Protein backbone atom coordinates (compact mmCIF):
# COMPACT_ATOMS: atom_id res chain seq x y z
CA UNK A 1 0.00 0.00 0.00
CA UNK A 2 1.24 3.48 -0.82
CA UNK A 3 1.60 6.27 1.68
CA UNK A 4 2.03 10.03 1.16
CA UNK A 5 5.68 9.26 0.66
CA UNK A 6 6.19 9.78 -3.02
CA UNK A 7 4.64 12.07 -5.57
CA UNK A 8 3.23 9.54 -8.00
CA UNK A 9 2.72 10.65 -11.59
CA UNK A 10 -0.14 9.18 -13.62
CA UNK A 11 0.90 8.09 -17.09
CA UNK A 12 -1.61 8.37 -19.94
CA UNK A 13 -3.40 5.45 -21.43
CA UNK A 14 22.68 -0.11 -29.57
CA UNK A 15 22.95 3.51 -28.30
CA UNK A 16 25.64 4.95 -26.04
CA UNK A 17 25.38 3.63 -22.53
CA UNK A 18 23.64 0.45 -23.70
CA UNK A 19 24.57 -3.02 -22.49
CA UNK A 20 22.73 -6.26 -23.05
CA UNK A 21 23.30 -9.24 -20.83
CA UNK A 22 26.01 -11.67 -21.81
CA UNK A 23 27.56 -14.81 -20.41
CA UNK A 24 30.34 -12.72 -18.91
CA UNK A 25 30.08 -10.29 -16.04
CA UNK A 26 29.95 -6.70 -17.21
CA UNK A 27 30.99 -3.51 -15.48
CA UNK A 28 30.95 0.22 -16.08
CA UNK A 29 31.89 3.34 -14.19
CA UNK A 30 31.43 6.97 -15.16
CA UNK A 31 31.47 10.46 -13.74
CA UNK A 32 29.08 12.93 -15.27
CA UNK A 33 27.24 16.21 -15.08
CA UNK A 34 23.56 15.84 -15.93
CA UNK A 35 21.53 18.82 -17.09
CA UNK A 36 17.93 18.50 -15.91
CA UNK A 37 15.35 18.35 -18.69
CA UNK A 38 11.75 19.45 -18.38
CA UNK A 39 9.25 16.74 -17.68
CA UNK A 40 6.21 18.41 -19.23
CA UNK A 41 3.72 16.28 -17.25
CA UNK A 42 0.76 16.94 -14.96
CA UNK A 43 0.58 15.74 -11.38
CA UNK A 44 -2.77 14.41 -10.22
CA UNK A 45 -2.08 12.57 -7.01
CA UNK A 46 -1.08 9.07 -6.05
CA UNK A 47 -2.56 5.68 -6.75
CA UNK A 48 -4.71 3.99 -4.09
CA UNK A 49 -4.83 5.48 -0.58
CA UNK A 50 -2.31 8.27 -1.23
CA UNK A 51 -4.39 9.97 -3.94
CA UNK A 52 -5.97 12.49 -1.61
CA UNK A 53 -2.70 13.26 0.14
CA UNK A 54 -0.87 14.18 -3.06
CA UNK A 55 -3.53 16.54 -4.43
CA UNK A 56 -3.31 18.14 -7.86
CA UNK A 57 -0.98 20.71 -9.32
CA UNK A 58 0.30 21.64 -12.75
CA UNK A 59 3.96 21.57 -13.68
CA UNK A 60 5.36 24.71 -15.19
CA UNK A 61 9.00 23.77 -15.73
CA UNK A 62 10.14 27.11 -17.09
CA UNK A 63 13.39 27.59 -19.00
CA UNK A 64 16.36 25.33 -18.40
CA UNK A 65 19.11 27.05 -16.45
CA UNK A 66 22.75 26.45 -17.18
CA UNK A 67 23.64 26.26 -13.48
CA UNK A 68 20.88 23.72 -12.66
CA UNK A 69 23.27 20.81 -13.07
CA UNK A 70 23.24 17.52 -11.20
CA UNK A 71 26.63 15.85 -11.03
CA UNK A 72 26.51 12.10 -10.62
CA UNK A 73 28.93 9.21 -10.61
CA UNK A 74 27.72 5.70 -11.29
CA UNK A 75 28.75 2.11 -11.67
CA UNK A 76 27.06 -1.03 -12.96
CA UNK A 77 27.56 -4.77 -12.91
CA UNK A 78 25.67 -7.73 -14.36
CA UNK A 79 26.16 -11.50 -14.25
CA UNK A 80 24.21 -14.48 -15.57
CA UNK A 81 24.33 -16.17 -12.16
CA UNK A 82 25.12 -19.74 -11.19
CA UNK A 83 22.11 -21.47 -12.77
CA UNK A 84 21.04 -19.65 -15.93
CA UNK A 85 22.93 -20.29 -19.15
CA UNK A 86 22.08 -16.90 -20.65
CA UNK A 87 21.95 -13.43 -19.14
CA UNK A 88 18.53 -11.97 -19.98
CA UNK A 89 19.19 -8.68 -18.16
CA UNK A 90 20.10 -5.44 -19.94
CA UNK A 91 20.93 -1.94 -18.74
CA UNK A 92 21.32 1.63 -19.90
CA UNK A 93 23.52 4.27 -18.27
CA UNK A 94 23.14 7.34 -20.49
CA UNK A 95 22.53 10.51 -18.48
CA UNK A 96 20.08 11.89 -17.79
CA UNK A 97 18.56 8.39 -17.73
CA UNK A 98 19.43 5.08 -16.12
CA UNK A 99 17.34 1.99 -16.97
CA UNK A 100 17.46 -1.73 -16.12
CA UNK A 101 15.38 -4.48 -17.75
CA UNK A 102 14.94 -8.16 -16.94
CA UNK A 103 13.74 -10.34 -19.83
CA UNK A 104 11.27 -13.21 -19.54
CA UNK A 105 10.65 -16.13 -21.86
CA UNK A 106 13.94 -17.98 -21.99
CA UNK A 107 16.87 -17.70 -24.40
CA UNK A 108 14.61 -17.46 -27.45
CA UNK A 109 12.81 -14.40 -26.16
CA UNK A 110 13.90 -13.02 -22.77
CA UNK A 111 17.28 -11.57 -23.68
CA UNK A 112 15.83 -10.10 -26.87
CA UNK A 113 12.90 -8.52 -25.01
CA UNK A 114 15.15 -6.84 -22.45
CA UNK A 115 17.48 -5.60 -25.19
CA UNK A 116 14.52 -4.08 -27.06
CA UNK A 117 13.37 -2.20 -23.95
CA UNK A 118 16.82 -0.73 -23.44
CA UNK A 119 17.21 0.11 -27.12
CA UNK A 120 13.98 2.12 -27.12
CA UNK A 121 14.97 4.18 -24.09
CA UNK A 122 18.51 4.65 -25.36
CA UNK A 123 17.44 5.78 -28.82
CA UNK A 124 15.26 8.55 -27.43
CA UNK A 125 18.04 9.79 -25.17
CA UNK A 126 20.40 9.95 -28.15
CA UNK A 127 17.78 11.85 -30.17
CA UNK A 128 17.35 14.48 -27.47
CA UNK A 129 13.70 13.69 -26.74
CA UNK A 130 12.02 15.43 -23.80
CA UNK A 131 12.22 13.22 -20.73
CA UNK A 132 9.06 12.81 -18.67
CA UNK A 133 6.22 10.41 -17.97
CA UNK A 134 4.99 10.69 -21.57
CA UNK A 135 8.49 9.71 -22.68
CA UNK A 136 8.40 6.67 -20.40
CA UNK A 137 5.06 5.58 -21.82
CA UNK A 138 6.13 6.03 -25.45
CA UNK A 139 9.30 3.97 -24.94
CA UNK A 140 7.33 1.20 -23.23
CA UNK A 141 4.65 1.06 -25.92
CA UNK A 142 7.20 0.99 -28.73
CA UNK A 143 9.18 -1.73 -26.98
CA UNK A 144 6.02 -3.72 -26.26
CA UNK A 145 4.96 -3.60 -29.89
CA UNK A 146 8.37 -4.78 -31.09
CA UNK A 147 8.44 -7.61 -28.55
CA UNK A 148 4.99 -8.87 -29.55
CA UNK A 149 5.84 -8.64 -33.24
CA UNK A 150 9.11 -10.53 -32.76
CA UNK A 151 10.21 -13.41 -30.58
CA UNK A 152 7.59 -12.72 -27.91
CA UNK A 153 8.28 -12.98 -24.22
CA UNK A 154 8.28 -9.91 -22.03
CA UNK A 155 10.44 -7.79 -19.76
CA UNK A 156 10.42 -5.73 -16.61
CA UNK A 157 11.75 -2.19 -16.59
CA UNK A 158 12.91 0.13 -13.82
CA UNK A 159 14.54 3.49 -14.31
CA UNK A 160 15.42 6.93 -13.04
CA UNK A 161 15.95 10.13 -15.01
CA UNK A 162 16.77 13.68 -14.00
CA UNK A 163 13.98 16.14 -14.83
CA UNK A 164 13.29 19.75 -13.90
CA UNK A 165 10.22 21.16 -12.19
CA UNK A 166 9.92 24.83 -11.23
CA UNK A 167 13.64 25.29 -11.79
CA UNK A 168 14.61 22.47 -9.42
CA UNK A 169 16.03 19.01 -10.12
CA UNK A 170 14.08 15.82 -9.48
CA UNK A 171 14.46 12.13 -10.17
CA UNK A 172 11.65 10.74 -12.30
CA UNK A 173 11.52 7.12 -11.12
CA UNK A 174 9.42 4.50 -12.91
CA UNK A 175 8.88 0.74 -13.00
CA UNK A 176 6.92 -2.15 -14.46
CA UNK A 177 7.36 -5.62 -12.95
CA UNK A 178 9.54 -6.63 -10.02
CA UNK A 179 12.82 -4.92 -10.82
CA UNK A 180 13.34 -2.28 -8.14
CA UNK A 181 14.67 1.17 -7.38
CA UNK A 182 15.96 2.02 -3.91
CA UNK A 183 17.16 5.24 -2.33
CA UNK A 184 20.01 5.19 0.19
CA UNK A 185 20.21 8.45 2.12
CA UNK A 186 21.18 9.37 5.65
CA UNK A 187 21.99 5.77 6.49
CA UNK A 188 18.47 4.63 5.56
CA UNK A 189 17.42 2.39 2.68
CA UNK A 190 14.00 3.12 1.17
CA UNK A 191 12.34 1.08 -1.57
CA UNK A 192 10.80 3.60 -3.95
CA UNK A 193 9.14 1.26 -6.43
CA UNK A 194 6.30 -1.13 -5.66
CA UNK A 195 6.62 -4.60 -7.21
CA UNK A 196 3.99 -5.67 -9.72
CA UNK A 197 3.95 -9.26 -8.55
CA UNK A 198 1.70 -11.88 -7.03
CA UNK A 199 3.65 -11.95 -3.76
CA UNK A 200 3.46 -8.15 -3.47
CA UNK A 201 -0.32 -8.42 -3.72
CA UNK A 202 -0.28 -11.05 -0.97
CA UNK A 203 1.71 -8.67 1.23
CA UNK A 204 -0.68 -5.80 0.55
CA UNK A 205 -3.63 -8.06 1.37
CA UNK A 206 -2.01 -9.06 4.67
CA UNK A 207 -1.65 -12.71 3.65
CA UNK A 208 2.16 -12.72 3.50
CA UNK A 209 4.94 -11.04 5.46
CA UNK A 210 7.38 -8.95 3.47
CA UNK A 211 10.34 -11.02 4.66
CA UNK A 212 8.66 -14.13 3.22
CA UNK A 213 8.48 -12.78 -0.33
CA UNK A 214 11.92 -14.04 -1.36
CA UNK A 215 11.12 -17.65 -0.44
CA UNK A 216 7.55 -17.91 -1.69
CA UNK A 217 7.13 -20.58 -4.44
CA UNK A 218 5.32 -18.05 -6.67
CA UNK A 219 7.76 -15.20 -6.12
CA UNK A 220 8.55 -15.01 -9.86
CA UNK A 221 4.96 -14.42 -10.95
CA UNK A 222 4.64 -10.80 -12.06
CA UNK A 223 1.41 -8.97 -12.81
CA UNK A 224 2.71 -6.36 -15.28
CA UNK A 225 5.37 -6.61 -17.96
CA UNK A 226 6.45 -4.88 -21.14
CA UNK A 227 5.44 -7.03 -24.11
CA UNK A 228 2.22 -8.39 -22.65
CA UNK A 229 -1.01 -7.28 -24.29
CA UNK A 230 -1.57 -3.71 -23.14
CA UNK A 231 1.95 -3.61 -21.62
CA UNK A 232 0.60 -2.27 -18.33
CA UNK A 233 1.03 1.30 -17.13
CA UNK A 234 4.28 2.14 -15.39
CA UNK A 235 4.24 3.64 -11.92
CA UNK A 236 6.11 6.96 -11.80
CA UNK A 237 7.35 9.19 -8.98
CA UNK A 238 9.00 12.61 -8.69
CA UNK A 239 11.71 12.60 -6.02
CA UNK A 240 13.85 15.68 -5.25
CA UNK A 241 17.50 15.09 -6.16
CA UNK A 242 19.68 15.37 -3.05
CA UNK A 243 23.42 15.79 -2.69
CA UNK A 244 24.97 12.74 -1.08
CA UNK A 245 22.13 10.36 -1.87
CA UNK A 246 22.59 7.04 -3.67
CA UNK A 247 20.11 5.30 -5.97
CA UNK A 248 20.10 1.60 -6.73
CA UNK A 249 18.40 0.03 -9.75
CA UNK A 250 18.42 -3.77 -9.72
CA UNK A 251 16.73 -6.90 -11.00
CA UNK A 252 15.18 -9.58 -8.82
CA UNK A 253 18.36 -11.61 -9.20
CA UNK A 254 19.72 -9.27 -6.52
CA UNK A 255 16.66 -8.74 -4.32
CA UNK A 256 15.57 -12.36 -4.64
CA UNK A 257 18.80 -13.42 -2.91
CA UNK A 258 19.47 -10.51 -0.54
CA UNK A 259 17.22 -9.05 2.14
CA UNK A 260 16.93 -5.27 2.33
CA UNK A 261 19.21 -5.17 5.36
CA UNK A 262 21.89 -7.00 3.37
CA UNK A 263 21.49 -4.60 0.47
CA UNK A 264 21.84 -1.68 2.88
CA UNK A 265 24.99 -3.16 4.41
CA UNK A 266 26.63 -3.47 0.99
CA UNK A 267 25.71 0.09 -0.02
CA UNK A 268 27.05 1.40 3.29
CA UNK A 269 30.32 -0.52 2.93
CA UNK A 270 31.48 0.82 -0.46
CA UNK A 271 32.03 4.48 -1.25
CA UNK A 272 32.71 3.85 -4.94
CA UNK A 273 29.42 3.09 -6.77
CA UNK A 274 31.19 0.72 -9.13
CA UNK A 275 32.50 -1.35 -6.24
CA UNK A 276 29.07 -1.23 -4.63
CA UNK A 277 27.40 -2.56 -7.80
CA UNK A 278 29.95 -5.36 -8.10
CA UNK A 279 29.61 -6.24 -4.42
CA UNK A 280 25.82 -6.47 -4.65
CA UNK A 281 25.92 -8.86 -7.59
CA UNK A 282 28.74 -10.88 -6.01
CA UNK A 283 26.76 -11.19 -2.78
CA UNK A 284 23.69 -12.33 -4.73
CA UNK A 285 25.78 -15.02 -6.45
CA UNK A 286 27.21 -16.15 -3.13
CA UNK A 287 23.68 -16.40 -1.71
CA UNK A 288 22.60 -18.76 -4.46
CA UNK A 289 22.80 -16.98 -7.79
CA UNK A 290 19.61 -18.62 -9.06
CA UNK A 291 18.88 -15.83 -11.54
CA UNK A 292 20.65 -13.22 -13.63
CA UNK A 293 21.70 -10.35 -11.38
CA UNK A 294 22.17 -6.71 -12.35
CA UNK A 295 22.82 -3.59 -10.28
CA UNK A 296 23.28 0.07 -11.24
CA UNK A 297 24.40 2.37 -8.42
CA UNK A 298 24.18 6.17 -8.88
CA UNK A 299 25.66 8.69 -6.46
CA UNK A 300 24.55 12.33 -6.53
CA UNK A 301 27.59 14.53 -5.93
CA UNK A 302 26.19 18.04 -6.41
CA UNK A 303 22.78 19.56 -7.05
CA UNK A 304 21.97 23.18 -7.90
CA UNK A 305 18.57 24.46 -6.80
CA UNK A 306 17.50 21.73 -4.39
CA UNK A 307 13.78 21.16 -3.90
CA UNK A 308 12.11 21.11 -0.51
CA UNK A 309 12.34 17.92 1.51
CA UNK A 310 8.57 18.13 1.99
CA UNK A 311 8.14 17.11 -1.66
CA UNK A 312 9.32 13.59 -0.91
CA UNK A 313 7.63 11.03 1.28
CA UNK A 314 8.64 7.46 1.75
CA UNK A 315 7.31 4.04 0.96
CA UNK A 316 5.76 2.51 4.09
CA UNK A 317 7.89 -0.64 3.87
CA UNK A 318 11.54 0.41 4.33
CA UNK A 319 13.04 -2.10 4.62
CA UNK A 320 37.62 5.24 -5.73
CA UNK A 321 37.47 6.75 -9.05
CA UNK A 322 39.28 4.75 -11.74
CA UNK A 323 40.63 7.52 -13.94
CA UNK A 324 39.81 10.91 -15.40
CA UNK A 325 38.42 9.34 -18.56
CA UNK A 326 35.22 8.60 -16.68
CA UNK A 327 34.11 12.22 -17.09
CA UNK A 328 30.82 12.77 -18.92
CA UNK A 329 29.36 16.15 -19.81
CA UNK A 330 26.38 17.15 -21.91
CA UNK A 331 27.27 16.62 -25.55
CA UNK A 332 29.90 14.01 -24.78
CA UNK A 333 28.76 10.40 -25.11
CA UNK A 334 29.97 7.67 -22.81
CA UNK A 335 30.02 4.03 -23.84
CA UNK A 336 28.87 1.58 -21.22
The domain segmentation of the chain, as residue ranges, is: 7-328
If 0-12 CB within 10 Å is exposed, 13-18 middle and 19+ buried, where does residue 38 land?
A: middle
**pLDDT 10s digits, 272-292:** 999 999 999 999 999 999 999
Residue spans of alpha helices (H) in 127-238: 133-149, 198-204
CB distance 49 to 116 below 8 Å: no
The pTM score is 0.75
Sign of CA dihedral 310, 46, 97, 105: positive
CA–CA separation, 26 vs 168, rounded Å? 34
CA–CA separation, 255 vs 241, rounded Å? 24
Superfamily of domain 7-328: PPM-type phosphatase domain (3.60.40.10)
**pLDDT 10s digits, 134-186:** 999 999 999 999 999 987 889 999 999 999 888 889 999 999 999 999 999 99
The residue ranking higher by pLDDT, 77 or 1, is 77
Rounded mean pLDDT, 65-75: 71
Tell me the C-alpha to C-alpha distance, in Å, between residue 36 and each of 97, 155, 178: 10, 28, 27
User: What DSSP designation does 151 have?
Assistant: T
Rounded mean pLDDT, 109-123: 94
- The helix/strand/coil state of 214 is helix
**pLDDT 10s digits, 24-42:** 456 655 555 554 443 322 2
Amino acid sequence: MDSPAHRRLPVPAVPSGFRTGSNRPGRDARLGTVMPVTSGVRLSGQRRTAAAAAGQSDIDPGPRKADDAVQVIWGSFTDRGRVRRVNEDALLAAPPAFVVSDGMGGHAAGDVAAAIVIEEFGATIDSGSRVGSEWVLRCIHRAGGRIRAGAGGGATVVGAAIVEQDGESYWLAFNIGDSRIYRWSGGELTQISVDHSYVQELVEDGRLQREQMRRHPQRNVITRAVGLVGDGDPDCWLIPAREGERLLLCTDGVTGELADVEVADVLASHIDPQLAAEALVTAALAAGGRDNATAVVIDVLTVSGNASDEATVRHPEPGTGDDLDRTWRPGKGGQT
